[in-house]
Amino acid sequence: MAESQQPHLPLPPKPVDVDVIENAISELLRGLGQGDKSEVMSQTPRRVAELYAQSINPGDIDIEEDFKVFDNPGMQDLILVNDVHYVSLCEHHLAPAFGVAHVGYVPDRKVAGYSKLKKGLNYLARQPQLNERLVVDAVNFLEARLQPKGIAMVLRSAHCCIALRTNAPSQEVVTVIERRGALCEERYWSPLWASAVAEKPAFLGR
């Protein structure tokens, strides 16, 4: 597929209005019974608004321009990239989710720099998301640009919405998988899966 024919991103950047966010957070705090705390109401809404603006839709990244691929120098077997950390927002509760991705692909004519795999995933993660959508979007993104013989991704994440509801640190690990082509074959899939579940993600402790 020629570069000019590459598909558009599944979740393109959306406009962010910091003032609207600030006003909404002020109302949220009042609704939570915090409106009488001047130290909270004076600065917190703006801080939260700026945090969300910086965390969602990073405007300084042109992912289409940044994501470069290279001619395959002759690699015929599996390429694994493990422990790619990402942070996203749970679409249902707007609470952070901390995750680790494990990616494997069998190249055909193209390979990608390892940092580009991380950049593509993080671009798609930095907006309200569902893990089930994120893994599909990320694999679609990589598959369209690499056109490999096979590709798979394992996402393992912990969700703050669980911790907030239970008032306890979340130790549950949610795992979602998407695999295609040659990565459905056991000889390629087994090394990726073994490395993905070998240890708990570092942010959950060992």
Nearest by Cα to 117 from 72, 80, 158, 159 = 80
pLDDT digits (tens, 9 = 90+) for 114-136: 888 888 888 888 888 899 999 99
Q: Quick check: helix, strand or coil at residue 23?
A: helix
Q: Are residues 27 and 69 in the same domain?
A: no
Q: Are residues 112 and 135 in the same domain?
A: yes
The boundaries of the domain holding residue 43 are 18-55
Q: How many domains does the chain have?
A: 2
Among the three residues 10, 29, 55, which one is the final residue of a domain in this structure? Answer: 55
Backbone angles phi, psi at 79, to 5 degrees: -110, 125
Q: How far is CA 31 from CA 24, 25, 34, 36, 46, in A?
A: 10, 10, 7, 11, 17
Q: Are residues 46 and 76 in the same domain?
A: no
Residue 184 tokens read as 């459905």
pLDDT digits (tens, 9 = 90+) for 53-76: 888 865 556 676 778 889 999 999
Check whether 200 has a pLDDT greater than 80.
no
Residue 203 tokens read as 């942010």
Residue matched to tokens 């690990």: 173
As a whole number, mean pLDDT of residues 163-176 equals: 79
Q: Are residues 71 and 42 in the same domain?
A: no
Q: Are residues 197 and 146 in the same domain?
A: yes
Question: Do the domain assignments include residue 145?
Answer: yes
Confidence of residue 1 (pLDDT cuts 50, 70, 90): very low
Question: Do the domain assignments include residue 11?
Answer: no
The CATH code of the domain that includes 189 is 3.30.1130.10
CB-CB neighbours of 107 under 10 Å: 24
Q: Are residues 23 and 99 in the same domain?
A: no
